[in-house]
Amino acid sequence: MPASQQLLLAATLIFVGALVQALLALKAGAWKQARAQFFLMALGFALQTGFIYLRGEEVRQCPIKSLPDILVFIAWSIVLLYFLVGPAFRLSLLGVFTSPLVTLMQVMAFTNGFAPYKPKGPINALVELHIALALISYAAFALACITGVMYLVQERMLKRHQIGGLFYQLPPIQGLAHAIQRLVRLGLLLLSIALGISFALHLPMTKTGHVIFAWIVWGLYAVISLLMWKHFTSPRKTAWLAVIGFILPFISLWIVTHA
Amino acid sequence: MPEPTDIRSGLVCVGLNYKTTPVEVRERLAFPEAQVPAAVEQVRGLPGFEESVVLSTCNRVELYATHALPSGKDGHAALREYLIERFELQPEHAEALVLYNLDSAEAARHLFRVVSGLDSMVLGETEIFGQVKAAYKVALDTGTTSRSLNKLFQQAFTVGKKVRNETTIQRGSTSVGSVAVDLAEKVHDLKECRVMLVGAGEMSRTCAQSLLSRGAKSIIVSNRSYDKAVELATEMKGRAMKFDEWEHSLHEVDVIISSTSAPHFVIKPEQIDQVMRKRRWEPLLIIDIAVPRDVDPAVNNIEGVYLYDIDALQAIADEGRRERLRQLASCERIIEEQLEKYGFLKSPGSGGLKLA
């Protein structure tokens, strides 16, 4: 196994460890914004970064052209945003909900295998930026999805009067609802910039599958954002939209990389 | 000052608390805050005494001291005499005075339990930690502590933190008021939380006070008797509202506490449905502590509305108390481990003291 994949395997195991540690701490009722959880997530992130660096060296370009590489890049972006968003939005337990998704994406990447890339011509920085921004926007949508799950869990406990261990650790539902809105807006902004770059690059929309899908995803989240902004739907429905909405970008990645 | 005695052999604690002494006696023996510095000096000045800390709260009066007297019993007797003289108790009251007299390991264990909230009326409450810290600081500033009590109290604070960090003794709510606060905190940011009282009963007053003490932004009080509403609103620095107006302001508040004596529902689903549209689906917590209930249970089916009646609140508080009781054994184990670690539980032959 190449060194890059060894790092990724280690990162995956670390994220599994972070999840197990968090679940055990929650079960024991000793969850204290767990420093251990933060440390494990940071370690996993460092290993992910190492993988992306070594993989880039192997394929002699930014490793975001095949589905497994894209999945890892999004997983890396999710953890990056977790560090940026979690403390800023005071979203305790975000790591507990993030680590399963990141683990799943990395396991899927391993299942698909990391094939060598075709040699390519000179690197166009704008193209790389366009792709990277689009993928980071997908990571923001992924975090909106995770926050949506947290909202639905907390909302259910409040409605059913199930005041238990997890209830005390999750943030207030109003804060979660606002975090979903901000994450969707952040993702939409990043995707808008990525699509703006595609205009600058004169990428023909009809002949470039991933741009078409990116526009579809943009349209979906623009509608979700509008519904949130104008309060056309309740926060609960908005949370459901953020959760279900993420299925589309997830599927689109698979389609565009296999087309 | 003479060299302090071995903390394990010269330590005594004499005191009374809510378990041993009724409030009418406790209030007579409480040290006013301003008089505590003088009290610690008086205790330290007793013959044979070296250090002192006086802890005086609404639930307990305790004197911690180190001494070089021949036995712990002499220390207990001296402190008992001090209390009787200090508060000028009549002979019949002095004779009836029930105090606990603890030495060395027992005294240290007691202090560790007090700091951890295990000896409190509300098991696991955290306020006592701050009260002990304040009592120690007064003694430290007055200069009545030295190596032994400094060490003991630092150990006690470490143990208190350890108990809270490694168990969930402080988690969960044990009273209706604290359940209301916990629920409000999980629905809104309390600092932005606007509260409305519909009816000004004693329980709703307690809930509102709990919310305000934890930082709720504002309060509106509406009551059939407008004078009573004004009185309560003034007390809570809020706004009074006539009883026929409260419905029009429902959309402006985030928490409604209802406790009217109406024999029928005063808050109905169709009302709240309109309110939620006006609120643009911002969540609304409704606490119904009236019996018979003020709020139609169907209100809980409306999206974004979280309704808790008195039974629901009581059930959560009961579960909170049970959860804390389940944690008690773990807390006691930590305290025993720490007593051993700090050398209080060594065998008599090795210089320590036996347990009671």
pLDDT (tens digit per residue) in B142-195: 999 999 999 999 999 999 999 988 888 887 778 888 888 889 988 998 888 999
Judging contacts by C-beta atoms under 8 Å, the chain A residues touching residue B319 are 163
Nearest-Cα distance to chain A for B282, in Å, is: 7
Decide if pLDDT at B356 tops 60: no
Of B165, B168, B306, the CB nearest to A159: B306
Judging contacts by C-beta atoms under 8 Å, the chain B residues touching residue A231 are 280-281
pLDDT at site B111? 97
Is the Cα dihedral B67, B70, B71, B77 positive or negative?
A: negative
CB–CB of B186 and A233 under 8 A?
Answer: no
In a 13 Å sphere around the CA of A88, the CA atoms on its Cβ side amount to 10
Length of chain A: 259
Comparing alpha-carbon positions, the chain B residue that sits nearest to A235 is B281
Judging contacts by C-beta atoms under 8 Å, the chain A residues touching residue B306 are 158-159
Of B171, B303, B308, the CB nearest to A161: B308
Comparing alpha-carbon positions, the chain A residue that sits nearest to B187 is A172
Query: Taking a C-beta distance cutoff of 8 angstroms, is the pair B326, B167 a contact?
Result: no
pTM value is 0.76
Give Cα separations from A158 to A27, A161, A173, B180 (angstroms).
Answer: 19, 5, 9, 12
Query: Taking a C-beta distance cutoff of 8 angstroms, is the pair B11, B107 a contact?
Result: yes
pLDDT at site B44? 95
Comparing alpha-carbon positions, the chain A residue that sits nearest to B162 is A30
Q: What's the average model confidence in pLDDT over B309-317?
A: 90
Strands (E), chain B: 11-17, 49-56, 60-67, 100-103, 194-198, 218-223, 239-242, 255-258, 284-288, 305-309
Judging contacts by C-beta atoms under 8 Å, the chain B residues touching residue A158 are 183, 186-187, 306
CB–CB of A235 and B281 under 8 A?
Answer: yes
Decide if pLDDT at B353 tops 50: no
Judging contacts by C-beta atoms under 8 Å, the chain A residues touching residue B278 are none
Task: Tell me which residues of B are annotated as active site.
Answer: 58
| Residue B171 near chain A (CB below 8 Å) | yes
Q: Secondary structure of chain A in the HEC alphabet?
A: CCHHHHHHHHHHHHHHHHHHHHHHHHHHCCCCCCHHHHHHHHHHHHHHHHHHHHHHHHHCCCCCCCHHHHHHHHHHHHHHHHHHHHHHCCCCCHHHHHHHHHHHHHHHHHHHCCCCCCCCCCCCHHHHHHHHHHHHHHHHHHHHHHHHHHHHHHHHHHHCCCCCHHHHHCCCHHHHHHHHHHHHHHHHHHHHHHHHHHHHCCCCHHHCHHHHHHHHHHHHHHHHHHHHHCCCCCHHHHHHHHHHHCHHHHHHHHHHHHC
Per-residue pLDDT tens digits of chain A, which is 259 residues long: 788 889 999 999 999 988 888 788 777 665 555 677 788 889 999 999 999 999 888 877 778 778 888 889 889 988 988 888 777 666 666 777 888 889 998 999 988 888 777 766 677 778 888 888 888 898 899 899 999 999 999 999 999 998 877 788 888 999 899 889 999 999 999 999 988 888 777 766 555 667 778 888 899 999 999 988 888 888 899 899 999 988 887 777 777 666 5
Query: Taking a C-beta distance cutoff of 8 angstroms, is the pair A71, A104 a contact?
Result: no
Confidence of residue B348 (pLDDT cuts 50, 70, 90): very low
Comparing alpha-carbon positions, the chain A residue that sits nearest to B163 is A30
Mutate to test the interface with A, among B166, B281, B324 (most CBs of A within 10 A): B281
Of A170, A174, A237, the CB nearest to B188: A174
Mean pLDDT of chain B: 88
Judging contacts by C-beta atoms under 8 Å, the chain B residues touching residue A236 are 303-304
Confidence of residue B4 (pLDDT cuts 50, 70, 90): very low
pLDDT tens-digit profile of B36-51? 999 999 999 999 999 9
Comparing alpha-carbon positions, the chain A residue that sits nearest to B179 is A163
CB–CB of A161 and B303 under 8 A?
Answer: no
Task: Say if the ipTM goes beyond 0.90.
Answer: no
Number of inter-chain CB pairs under 8 A, A vs B: 60
| Residue B191 near chain A (CB below 8 Å) | no
pLDDT > 70 fraction of chain B, expressed in percent and rounded? 94
pLDDT at site A82? 86
pLDDT at site A88? 66
Confidence of residue B81 (pLDDT cuts 50, 70, 90): very high
